Structure 1
């Protein structure tokens, strides 16, 4: 058994992506952010839907075609496939702990 809130003793300088479960059509991962953001001018354009919940910390997600969203612990959202978005802020203290589910979601 593992606990989603147990963090490595030393966190790397880059975002940490950990696959928790996966199949050909689904990926569940834990993401740990400590102040990382999407590089200026870059946008994520994912092939699959992503449902994400912020379990700890604070973050801000910006969309190319919609207003930005500020997230606090417990907030979740669905990012549709090819919905261009970027991470504009993640807290470092406490680190952000995300749970992300990638797939073709309804």
Structure 2
């Protein structure tokens, strides 16, 4: 058994990515941010769809061609494959725990 709210290091110099489970055409991962953002040098352009849910904290997902979306606990968002996006902001004073589902 595991818990998505546990095993988070006290110091978090980089975002933490943990694969929770994967199978045919799907990968589920936990992402933990604490004031982290995507690299300034580009956009994520993923070959698979992504559904993301914020379990704790707050974050902003920005899109190359579109308005940024602010997500808090319980908020979720589907990002179609190849829709260029980045994490523009996460709460600096608490963990933001994301559950991301990547699928075909």
Q: TM-score w.r.t. structure 1 length?
A: 0.91
Q: Contact between 1:61 and 1:70, CA under 8 Å: does it hold in 2? A: yes
Q: Secondary structure at the match of 1:101?
A: strand
**How far apart are the structure 2 equivalents of 1:7 and 1:91?**
19
Task: Say if 2:28 is the partner of 1:28.
Answer: yes
**How far apart are the structure 1 equivalents of 2:45 and 2:21?**
22
RMSD, aligned α-carbons: 1.3
Instruction: Report 1:38-49 matches (<5 A).
Output: 38-49=38-49
1:12 Cα offset (Å): 2.7
Moved over 4 A (4+): none
**How far apart are the structure 2 equivalents of 1:72 and 1:3?**
20
**How far apart are the structure 1 equivalents of 2:56 and 2:92?**
10
1:9 Cα offset (Å): 4.2
Q: TM-score w.r.t. structure 2 length?
A: 0.93
- For this pair of structures, how many residues does the alignment match? 104
1:45 Cα offset (Å): 0.1
Q: Match of 2:77? A: 77
